[in-house]
Structure 1
Amino acid sequence: MMASSLDSVSSTSSDVSQFHHTPSYCEENVYLLCKKLCADGVADESDLFVVFISNENKHVPLWHQKASHRADGIILWDYHVICIQRKREGKSVDLVWDLDSSLPFPSTLPSYVSESIRPSFELFSEFQRVFRIVHAPLFLRHFASDRRHMKDSQGNWMANPPEHEVIVAQDGSVHNLNQYIDMSTKDVLKDIQEDSINEVFTKPFGLLVGESHLEQFFSSISHSSTLTQDSWQS
């Protein structure tokens, strides 16, 4: 993940500091975040979803990002990755875990959408955002990155890599990041229906939704009586 013109400037709270964060490697940061949330008992793996944000042009604006030098925190990412924790019985709202955001950590999904995505802000078509929603159990099983995307044509690092080992998928794949970040507005779901909701629990690379359907998608997941652990484990 690279900003269009800025390097990351981190100013983390004590809560955020408990999580691993390497600037410009948001996909690996979220991979480790999901594992830690589960290990610490904060979330069940089945309630976590990894969400990639990008578009055909690899220019997506988000507000309240720590890498920005502007007062409103806006920045253009080529892609960004967050984690959304769906609400369960007894929980009031879905939560967003964004390690690069200056908003509360975590933020409620409605607040994050309003403050960071700002769907009411009229954008030119080249900046329209697409959201790839991947169920965390599938992401943790299938995602792989050898960090080749962070090297220039001479093989030099464009941003210092994480200290931990590269992530290899369970099937031995060493790099499939492009399959997560390649997305187009023409491929987003037109309607949020039960069949499409169920598919997110079986497709390794998830489903694409537009920003107008993001909250609706998670509301549908949270309230659907048809989704069971058997459906996402299959």
Structure 2
Amino acid sequence: MEQRSVATSEVLIASTVSSRSIDVSDFIHTPCYCEENVYQLCKTLSSIGVADADGSDLFVVFISNDNKKVPLWHQKASKQADGFIIWDYHVVCIQKNVEGKSSRRVWDLDSDLPFPSSLSQYISEAIQPSLQIHPEFRRFFRVVHAPLFLRFFASDRRHMKDSLGEWIAHPPTYEPIFCEDGTVHNLDVYVKFGEGDVRDIGRDLVDKIFSEKYGVVLSESQLEEFFSLIP
């Protein structure tokens, strides 16, 4: 029943957005489950024709570090005027070559920036690399090609339960996401990374994005350049 309700929601979304501009409210969103929200976002963008049918122009981006302390701005969950918050990790979607142009845009369901935002705007206003921050808060980015993410990501939501087995935040109403090989939970692999995982940008690194199921890890300064090299 739950999986059918998700499919029904996607049909209703497709019907709704075909006649007007896309709004963040058109997408499935469960607070504190950003990885699942982006999973559903990629599927919906593909199903309604905003992205390639196979999601090949979409990239899932995990933002984290070794300390699980990620400062971002313009986040709706913040209680500050500038939207500042520190997440343990965050997940967004980046779309390349929008409408045949060499442009990239960011889909962040938790941001109060335009939906979507250009990659340059998102970096400037949500990440704010011009600000000097303490090394423990440096942001790193695991970039995963969406078709691979949709095939191999799995979460039984165990990370959202406390020591007594109670929910820290209410889960989505649909069934947990399991991947095609039967894996029920591998979220930890996606969110565990830091400075030691960053490699120099080159043709080999760009090529890996289309074959490595857990993607590649970039530093803050590499993010925009990396996407400029993706064909």
Match of 2:27 among 19, 26, 50: 19
What displacement does 1:39 show?
A: 0.1
What displacement does 1:88 show?
A: 5.1
Pairing 1:145-184 to 2, within 5 Å after superposition? 145-184=155-194
Letter in 2 for 1:178: D
Pairing 1:8-87 to 2, within 5 Å after superposition? 15-44=23-52, 45-87=55-97
What displacement does 1:89 show?
A: 6.4
Q: Does 1:197 align with 2:206?
A: yes
Q: Report Cα offsets for 1:3-44 as digits up to 9, x if no partner.
A: xxxxxxxxxx97000000000000000000000000000001
Q: Give the TM-score normalised by the residue count of structure 2.
A: 0.88
* Secondary structure, aligned partner of 2:230: helix
Q: Report Cα offsets for 1:38-80 as digits up to 9, x if no partner.
A: 0000001110000000000000000000000101101000000
Match of 2:124 among 114, 128, 152: 114
Q: Report Cα offsets for 1:134-185 as digits up to 9, x if no partner.
A: 0000000000000000000000100000001100001010000000000011
Q: Report Cα offsets for 1:112-137 as digits up to 9, x if no partner.
A: 00000011111100000110000000
- Quote the Cα distance in structure 2 between the aligned partners of 1:136 and 1:51: 9
- Quote the Cα distance in structure 2 between the aligned partners of 1:26 and 1:81: 6
- Quote the Cα distance in structure 2 between the aligned partners of 1:60 and 1:88: 28
Q: Does 1:104 align with 2:114?
A: yes
Letter in 1 for 2:206: I
What displacement does 1:92 show?
A: 4.5
What displacement does 1:90 show?
A: 2.7
What displacement does 1:186 show?
A: 1.7
Unaligned residue ranges in structure 1 (runs of 5+): 1-12, 223-234
Task: Determine the structure 2 residue equivalent to 1:186.
Answer: 196
87-96 or 165-174, which deviates more:
87-96
Match of 2:224 among 201, 204, 215: 215
- Quote the Cα distance in structure 1 between the aligned partners of 2:79 and 2:222: 30
- Quote the Cα distance in structure 2 between the aligned partners of 1:98 and 1:54: 15
Query: Aligned-pair RMSD on alpha carbons?
Result: 1.2
What displacement does 1:187 show?
A: 1.4
Task: Determine the structure 2 residue equivalent to 1:143.
Answer: 153
- Quote the Cα distance in structure 1 between the aligned partners of 2:123 and 2:22: 23
- Quote the Cα distance in structure 2 between the aligned partners of 1:89 and 1:152: 44
- Quote the Cα distance in structure 1 between the aligned partners of 2:141 and 2:172: 25
- Quote the Cα distance in structure 2 between the aligned partners of 1:198 and 1:211: 20
* Secondary structure, aligned partner of 2:56: helix
Q: Judging changes above 3 Å, is the alpha-carbon distance between structure 1 residues 39 and 89 closer, same or farther for their aligned structure 2 residues?
A: closer
Q: Give the TM-score normalised by the residue count of structure 1.
A: 0.87
Unaligned residue ranges in structure 2 (runs of 5+): 1-20
Runs of 4+ residues over 2 Å off in structure 1: 88-92
Identical residues among aligned pairs (%): 63
